[in-house]
């Protein structure tokens, strides 16, 4: 079964979280061709989700703080859509806007008291 573009991106972000990986390590760990990996890394880099670190002759890829936040949001969204509890606590939940009916009830309640 083929992986979606988002699954590939999430896999790259997850692989590079703790230790930076070289391009060849990333190719092996993610089982990708260079033809697929290069444009994906370019996109993730331009979105500031990964950064390159050059050490001597090797180029390492590391997930940025913003990339980690995107990975957590992706995992949370997948879990919620599958009906599972969120693997990461959702911060800053937005209260739904009050409906017209609830505003009407609230206004009538104030008028009666």
pLDDT tens across 45-74, in order?
A: 999 999 999 988 889 999 999 999 999 999
Write the pLDDT tens digit of every residue in 8-28.
999 999 999 988 899 999 999
Q: Using alpha carbons, select from 25, 76, 1 the residue that is nearest to residue 12.
A: 25
> What CATH number did the domain enclosing 46 receive?
1.10.10.10
User: From CA 72, how far away is CA 61, in angstroms rounded?
Assistant: 18
User: From CA 47, how far away is CA 75, in angstroms rounded?
Assistant: 18
In the chain, the number of structural domains is 1
Burial group, residue 2, by CB count within 10 angstroms (0-12, 13-18, 19+): exposed
Identify the domain containing residue 35 by its residue range.
5-112
Burial group, residue 9, by CB count within 10 angstroms (0-12, 13-18, 19+): buried
Answer yes or no: pTM beyond 0.85: no
């Amino acid at each position: 079964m083929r992986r979606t573009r988002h699954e590939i991106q999430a896999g790259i972000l997850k692989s590079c979280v703790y230790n930076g990986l070289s391009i060849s390590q990333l190719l092996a760990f993610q089982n990708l061709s260079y033809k697929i990996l290069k444009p994906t890394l370019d996109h993730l880099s331009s979105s500031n989700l990964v950064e390159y670190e050059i050490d001597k002759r090797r180029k390492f890829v590391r997930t940025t703080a913003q990339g980690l936040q995107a990975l957590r949001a992706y995992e949370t969204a997948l879990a919620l859509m599958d009906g599972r509890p969120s693997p990461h606590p959702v911060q800053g939940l937005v209260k739904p806007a009050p409906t017209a009916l609830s505003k009407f009830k609230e206004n009538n309640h104030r008028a009666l008291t």
